[in-house]
Structure 1
Amino acid sequence: MGLGATYFVVFCCYALLLWYGGYLVRHHYTSGGLANAIMFAVMIDGLGLGQSAPSLSAFAKAKVAAAKIFSVIDHKPSIDWNRDSGLELESVTGLVELKNVDFAYPSRPNVKILNNVSLCVPSGKTIALVRSSGSGKSTMVSLIERFYDLTSGEVMLDGHDIKTLKLRWLRQQIGLIEEAARVANAHSFIVRLPETVSKLRLGREDFNSQAAEAENCYSRAMLKNPAILLLVEAPSALDCELETVVQESLDRFIIGRTTLVIAHRLSTIRKADLVAVLQEGSVSEIGTHDELIAKGENGAYAKLFQMQEAAHETAINNA
């Protein structure tokens, strides 16, 4: 019925067009050739408009997609990284404090990532953050670098709220690693790996991406010589052999620096001065490695450590 109705309307239009064209010719308002040309033009144009109708949806989709892009371009961030105002401290000891911090990402304001977190990283000490993904460890790193502003609470550097500090200066005091390969002995073990640095120097792209990325990351942070060091998943992202070499280098590099370490592999943080366990956006345990292990089955850190040790032994036996 729908198809029939459509063709009925089309042929009625054709009939009307032919009748009216004949009427104009009979009464000498136009010539037969001009009437035929107009009739064919109207028919072809009508067919073209009919065939273009399905494409109109593509224009609607493009408009919606463009609106999202333009909204990002036009968005004015609340944090202006290029702002010249703010304090620049004469010297940085590296005391970092989080006081009653609540935070939710702007894209998900109803999902609280950090819930009343208070944590102190003493100057020149190393504190490790552990727990499963989604507990807020990486978020804390983002807040210290002031990639986001807090929902409530304060992040302090040497007793100053980081909101009062010059943002560009603040980030110059912080080194983020996941840095100088030669300084950290990273270059020596990378060179021994096949198809890495030698091919990189020759401009070839088929080098070992894991090793090359490690070299670049360590190089940037160590050459920056920061007062505060943030280690995100490093060196736990490497295999066991590389991990041992890089960990020895990092242990020397972090001496005298305030260091915040985030790692899933707990074997890399045994020498940390403090270990903080995050659970559901809050600090559930804090203490040294030995103190938390001593809690045994009653401690979340001890359970997690035992699980990883058991998994490591299983992997060795299977190998």
Structure 2
Amino acid sequence: MPRRFSGASTASATRRDKEAEKAEQKALLAKAPGFFDILKMNSPEAGYIALACIGALLNGGGMPIFAVFFAEVIAVFSKVGDAMLQEATFWALMFLVLGGAQLLGNLFMNIGLGVAGERLTRRLRTMYFAAVLRQDMSYFDNPDNSVGAVTTRLANDASNAKGASGVRLAMPLQALFGVCLGLGIALYYGWMLALMIVGCVPFMAVAGFIHMAFQTKSQKATDKSSEMAGQTAAEAIENLPTVQSLCREPTFFKRYCDYLAGPYRKRLVGSVLSGVTYGFSEAMVFFMYAAAFRFGAYLVGIDKMTPSNVFKVFFAITFAGLMVGQTFSLIPDYAKARISAGYILQLVAKQPLIDNLSNEGRRPDSVRGEIALEGVQFTYPQRPGVEVLHGLSLSFPAGQTVALVGVSGCGKSTVMALLQRFYDPSNGRVTLDGADLRDLNVSWLRRNIRVVSQEPVLFARSIEANIVYGLDSQQFVTHETVEAAAKQSNIHDFVSGLPSGYATEVGEKGAQLSGGQKQRVALARALVNRPKILLLDEATSALDTESEAVVQAALEEARQGRTCILIAHRLSTVQNADRIVVIEQGQVVEQGTHAELMRLGGAYYALASGAKKPGAAAADAPLVLDANAVVVNDNNNATPPPVDPPVHA
């Protein structure tokens, strides 16, 4: 019984998935832009598209005219002697003229479509990437917009969208002109046979439509799974050292294969059905041939047509039908292209809550660096039911160092995100020098704030290029400026000793450097712009003792004269701060200097006292929280109190 129930549940779930997928496809097509909307994207290439359309007309007329020429050539061979040679020479010249016209037609069409298509693809990719860069963090919090999904769309959607734009205009135009000319020729030379053949077309069209429907359905399943498989592969490759250290290669390999298994089975079934439907559609063509030749013979027998005219009608309609088939073959690509174009245009039109590239907002001439959170409530957009900050009020005086301590998930990193305006508060406000961050220009704000995080992100460029990224793109950069920042972060001597010096490539994510070296390069990048505000998010927590000492010395110097906000789990890092703020479950429970909070004997005292280990100095010990405290993790899901060792901050 349980097995039967499980199987029924699985089948039901599969049906629901299929229905959901169909509904999603219909919804996407309903939202997708129309042909003329997409055609506007190709407006800069109007000249090339016009050239392609001229070529399409030349190509479209080629096949019906070839039908007439070919029928005449067949009749030529019924003659003998000089008469045959003269007519053969004439029609040979006609074929040369027709070939020249086809050469020009294909040349115009391929040049026009090629240039217009490539320019459109490049423009769509740049538009899409620019739109991605404009989005705020809430966009990327959505699982549908993961790194793998976004990069897959960036690679595929621009190319796919080309199929719904002006570059496809030439093919239907070629087919339309060819069909009209072919039907005109057929009706002129034998209207009865022409109508008989046209009467067979609906049967051929139905067979072709059934075949195309199976092909399209199979392709949609493959596209969806390819995106999910690509996302899984990107995640595994991006974090390959972690995957290998956890021995999780089989897990990711299985997940990757699972995403491909479903479509693989569908494609196997689809291949069989496609073979049947394709065979049927091809058979219909030959059935039509049989009927046409038999009826043509009948018309010749009653002197209603000549054999030459039978061939003209037959070939004219046959070639016109081939052009229609080519046009219909574009329909699935066109639907897919409309969806891809819809993705791009929707993202381009999407106005983020926080526009990273906007020119709006105030740009004060000077910054003191005084920050305040006033009654801030905050929930992440993807988890609206879980409030992270509960009316948090907190001030950071200009030029002072303030440390935030508390367990993981208490809201420290959320405060950092709000200060950089990755998100806006649900209620309350965050101010800089008394001005609401929402009234300030986003780029200006972030240029005055620099962050050094626990795991610094370096780009696959040289050391100097990574440091220069910390400067305003409009600033004039000198090597002396880079060196000054490197000296301030205690990395200059190390870099100078490298064979390539500042031109040394750091590798993917800084893989060629140690943790301490990466941290100091990141610090140099933060300091090169001389920011008024410095955010240190557990900047030394992942380092060994020797590296931590070097980085800590650089941080101590970097904090001078700046508003510095730091998150740390080591007592040695926070005890010298001008003020320490203890946060629990999104609220401030204590604040003061190290000495004041120790005398108070409250939450901070419990953290510091619980950190002491036998034979270890308190300054070197990590801060911990009482084991009975409730932890709110970074995913904003409340977790039960730990029952084993205390939770590290």
Asked if residue 214 in structure 1 is aligned to residue 511 in structure 2, the reply is no
Query: How do 1:68-87 residues align onto structure 2 when only pairs under 5 Å count?
Result: 68-79=343-354, 82-83=358-359, 85-86=361-362
Q: Does the residue aligned with 1:148 lie in a helix, a strand or coil?
A: coil
Which residue number in structure 1 is paired with residue 590 of structure 2? 286
- Residues 219-228 or 240-249, more deviating: 219-228
TM-score (norm 2): 0.39
Letter in 1 for 2:625: A
Using the TM superposition, give the Cα deviation of residue 218 of structure 1 relative to its aligned residue in structure 2, in angstroms.
Answer: 1.6
Q: CA deviation at 1:97?
A: 1.0
Aligned partner of 2:422 among 129, 142, 147: 147
Q: Which deviates more, 202-211 or 168-177?
A: 202-211
Work out whether 1:233 is the aligned partner of 2:538: yes
Greater mean alpha carbon deviation, residues 175-184 or residues 128-137: 128-137
Report the secondary structure of 2:552's partner residue.
helix
**The residue matched to 2:377 in structure 1 has which SS?**
strand
| 1:97 partner SS | strand
Residues 6 and 175 of structure 1: is their aligned pair in 2 closer, same or farther, counting only changes over 3 Å? closer
Indicate the residue corresponding to 2:298 in structure 1. 26
d(CA) in 2 for partners of 1:35, 1:89: 81
Larger radius of gyration: 2
The more displaced of 250-259 and 7-16 is 7-16
Q: Does 1:254 align with 2:559?
A: yes
The 8 Å contact of residues 402 and 579 in structure 2, kept in 1 or not, is answered as yes
Distance 1:164 1:270 in 2: 35
Map 1:78-97; keep pairs closer than 5 Å: 78-79=353-354, 82-83=358-359, 85-86=361-362, 88=364, 90=366, 92=368, 94-97=369-372
Deviation at 1:275, TM superposition (A): 3.5
From 606, 618, 621, give the equivalent of 1:295: 606
1:36-115 correspondence to structure 2 within 5 Å: 37=315, 56=332, 60=335, 63-79=338-354, 82-83=358-359, 85-86=361-362, 88=364, 90=366, 92=368, 94-106=369-381, 109=384, 112-115=387-390
Q: Percent identity?
A: 30
Secondary structure of 2:527's aligned partner: helix
Please tell me whether the aligned partners of residues 184 and 253 of structure 1 are also in contact (alpha carbons under 8 angstroms).
Answer: yes
Other structure's SS at 2:486 match: coil
In 2, distance between residues paired with 1:166 and 1:7?
64
Q: Does 1:270 align with 2:575?
A: yes
Q: Number of residues paired by the alignment?
A: 299
Distance in 2, Cα, partners of 1:241 & 1:266 = 17
Distance of 2:343 and 2:383 partners within structure 1: 17
Task: Could you tell me which runs of 5 or more consecutive residues in structure 2 were left unpaired when the two chains were aligned.
Answer: 1-272, 454-466, 468-484, 612-622, 628-644
Deviates more, 1:101-110 or 1:142-151: 101-110
Please tell me whether the aligned partners of residues 176 and 230 of structure 1 are also in contact (alpha carbons under 8 angstroms). yes
1:61 CA displacement: 5.0
Q: Equivalent residue for 2:433?
A: 158
Contact 1:145 1:174 in 2 (8 A): yes
* 1:5 CA displacement: 8.8
1:15 aligns with 287
Measure, in 1, the Cα distance between the counterparts of 2:400 and 2:446.
19
| Structure 1 residue 154 displacement after superposition | 0.8
TM superposition score normalised by structure 1: 0.71
Q: In structure 1, the residue corresponding to 2:487 is in which secondary structure?
A: coil
1:31-65 CA-to-partner distances (Å, cap 9, x unmatched) read 36457656976897899899x69x93x66555434
CA distance in structure 1 between the partners assigned to 2:376 and 2:520 by the alignment: 34
Distance 1:72 1:66, change over 3 A: same
Deviations 1:269-311 (A, max 9, x none): 332333434454x1253335553442369999534896559xx
Bigger RCO (CA 8 Å, 6+ sep): 1
SS in structure 2 at match of 1:302: coil
